[in-house]
Amino acid sequence: MKIPRTVAVCLLVSLLFGGTALAHKVNLFAYVEAGKVHTESYFPDGRPVEDGKVLVYDSGDALLLEGRTDQEGLFSFPIPKVDDLKIVIDASMGHKNSFELKKAEVEAGK
């Protein structure tokens, strides 16, 4: 069976550059508890994001607050607004991700 040339090229490209895509990945998890939003940020190898910039936006993309992760990749803050919240982690050098907290989750955690 002969593999079409385009399939072979796509396979080769994904093998060559697949590791590069993972190199810029960063994980972000957020939850609400007792009136505060808690975030955890870490790289795929488990290392915490130290001093990563955290930005929090409302549903209208207005910046509500910003802060920095600690040595364990953690950042917590009081609920700034009962709304859908978009939390962004910028760990520098292209490492960036976001997490969406729905309004219902924010309300339930108050």
pLDDT tens digits, one per residue of 41-63: 999 999 999 999 999 999 999 99
Distance of alpha carbon 94 from alpha carbon 36, whole angstroms: 28
1 domain residue, yes or no: no
* CATH number of the domain within which 81 lies: 2.60.40.3580
8 domain residue, yes or no: no
Distance of alpha carbon 14 from alpha carbon 26, whole angstroms: 20
pLDDT tens digits, one per residue of 73-106: 999 999 999 999 999 999 988 889 999 999 999 9
**Domain of residue 83, residue span:** 25-108
Helix (H) or strand (E) holding 29: strand 27-33
3 domain residue, yes or no: no
Q: What is the number of domains present in the chain?
A: 1
75 domain residue, yes or no: yes
Distance of alpha carbon 67 from alpha carbon 51, whole angstroms: 9
- Tell me if 19 sits within 8 A of 45, measured CB to CB: no
Helix (H) or strand (E) holding 68: strand 63-68
